[in-house]
Chains A and B, each alone.
Chain A
Amino acid sequence: MSARTSDLAITGAVPDVAAPRGGRLAGRGTALAALLIFLVLAVLPPVAVAVNDPFLVVTATRIIVFAIAALSLDLVLGYGAMVSFGHAAFLGLGAYAVAILSSHGISDILVQGVVAVAASALFALVTGAISLRTKGVYFIMITLAFGQMAYFFMVSLSAYGGDDGLTLGGRSTLFGLPILKSDFALFYLSLGVLVLAFVGLRALTLSRFGRVLRGTKENPVRMQAIGFQPFAFQLTAYVIAGALAGIAGVLLANQAEFVSPAYMSWQRSGELIVMVVLGGMGTLVGAIGGAIALLLLEDWLAHFSEHWKLGLGVLLVLLVLFTRGGIVGGVARLFGRPRS
């Protein structure tokens, strides 16, 4: 057992693949942890009313939106072992789909959602097909570059605000009804999407598709030898993740009622990676936990000093340097997640 864990620590791999028995237990553990998080989130709005702190719901919505984005990144990063450094681009594309359509008077969330998913999926398909021709360091740098490409595209798109961003006329509607007008409605919609995304991705990763994806992560050559084409599976995962991040972008635009290229900056992509790794890669629930932890940590550090990023940076460096096998192992122990 100890040999296996040290093995895992090095590769940061998912235990489910190597040991089916322990894996199934761990799987149940993560599902339970996720259920717990969802329950806590579900009772948050009434609590916020009770303690008379409506801003709590706004913060929580924001956290949920980033949790969805981190969840989608986990499919690529944790299960597919593709270190994508341009994931914020999809988030931004989804947000811009809402803003641009709404500036033309189309505020129906279904139309916006379809356009957002189509745009981010298409961007993922094209950039993914090119990026996946490469491996390792190249892949990281290329996804980063494509993310920047999307960023600069929006910066120079002066018709839609350019660098300054674009303020929404109002939140999205459904069949002309302003259903998202209240913060609570948006919160529960976001939570619903989060739960659906978690359940969907969980089913996906436990399916044959997910096993091939993880097998590719473990040993691409062997997967090819037994007759799979890793490229098709990886690209599919990349497109699914991109589309889901696009949906998160739709929610983000509604939450902030504002979009700007800053949503797509590479620092944002870096933060998404930090969320996934902080919580634990390839566990899905880890991405959610990581998003919650990082955003709360940022809020908390910001209370102390305007230079809170310094603290975050120091923390990141220390975590990598002093936790065995990277952050995954250390944080898993720290948070006492059921897997260990």
Chain B
Amino acid sequence: MELSEYFSQLFSDYTLRTITLGTAILGAICGMLGSFAVLRKQSLLGDAISHAALPGIAIGFLIREYQIDPLEKVSVLGRVFNKIVTVIQWVLDLFGGGTNTLLIGALISGVLGTFLIRGIINRTHLKTDTALGLVLSLFFGFGILLLTFIQKQPNANQAGLDKYLFGQAATLVESDVILMASVTGVCLVILLLFWKEFKILLFDADYTKTLGFNTRFIDILITFFIVLAIVLGLQTVGVVLMSAMLLAPAAAARQWTNKLSVMIVLAAIFGAFSGVFGTAISASQNNLSTGPVIVLVTGVFVAFSFIFSPGRGILFKQIRVYKNRRDLKLQKTLQFMFDIAKMHNDISHPHAIKILNNFQGYTRGTLKELEEKEWVAVQGQKWSMTEKGYDAAANLYNTN
């Protein structure tokens, strides 16, 4: 399928429409919440959580496929766990999510992982990076153990498990999209309700505390939504690449603005477009999973923003450096001329251009530019300083 074909079929074809809508919404919510992750310096939390969700998915799978409650028999805790599952399931049903046990499992184990990360950072001297790496790899390893265990079971229906590893947007169905849209909606409402609190916590956590806000609650609220977004995205983008989905749109948006609201909106737009373009490209080629393509598209957004954003971009920064350097050269030449002119009673006494040759800042270009600014007058092989140039040179260090 060609790209143009994809776009012409976008509105008529049910599957394409669902997938595109799904990835667009996913990109938007990830961009939105990713902004918080990036600004809170929790960029890699997403990576850790998406990996930590794996054992939850596997346990969810066990519960769904075999109708067994491995925990119920074990302890009271197991029964409490199952009650929680039932309640979350009920809430999800309310949003039209269907009975998605895998998602609930992923959510619970993601949240558990987050708490463990916090516990390790707060209670021991291990640093953030170690805590993230530990939770990421240990949970994932346990998940792999469970998965391979499941795969060896007779009659295991493994379809649906594999897609969580690498993501397959093609498996998105309408109920998934509805679920994503509802979560995005709830998230937006919460974001608007707690806008002031989120913002102040982001930039000055201590001040927030002194103002009497419950920082713990706000903190947990943000983190919970980040976990939720990750869990929703697993099916589409996969465990490994989910973190990029969260980070990249936000990192790109950050380059264009210093305002939180603008950044969130931009990140959501970047995310949504990455989703659509990524789906379009992967649908128009054979053998391309959606996840990697979406990630590369977000990568293009990031690279473009890094280079071309007017305020912080590398290109404009370089141009500014170059311009400053030229201005400095010009000023140095002017200063040198000023020192010579100062020694004469008549400031516009002509001097040979030759004497400038030993001076570093001097080039033909700078002389020409000085002449254009009417700071010096050039006649043949001689230059003389004008009244304007003299004033400018005298005030050189006062104005800047």
Does B bind A? no
